[in-house]
Amino acid sequence: MTQSMIGLVVGLAILIVVAFVLAGRDRREHPSATDGRIGRWLDSHHMGWMHRRH
């Protein structure tokens, strides 16, 4: 790998880690947001469309 490609991969990895950390912190600070409308919507909608049809 060239040095610029390694820098790109490392940069993307850092961005992904930061996104997960921020999402985890937000979920800890606002636990009711996932229990409210979003949770009810997920419970009421069938998610079969996410699976590949063979």
pTM for the whole structure: 0.52
Q: Is 53 left (phi over 0), alpha (psi -120 to 50) or beta?
A: beta
Task: Provide the residue-wise pLDDT of the chain in tens; the chain has 54 residues.
Answer: 799 999 999 999 999 999 999 988 877 776 665 556 766 776 776 666 666 655
Quote the CA–CA distance of 15 and 40 in Å, as a whole number: 30
Quote the CA–CA distance of 40 and 42 in Å, as a whole number: 5
Please tell me the predicted confidence (pLDDT) of residue 48.
67
Half-sphere exposure of 16 (CA within 13 A, CB side): 6
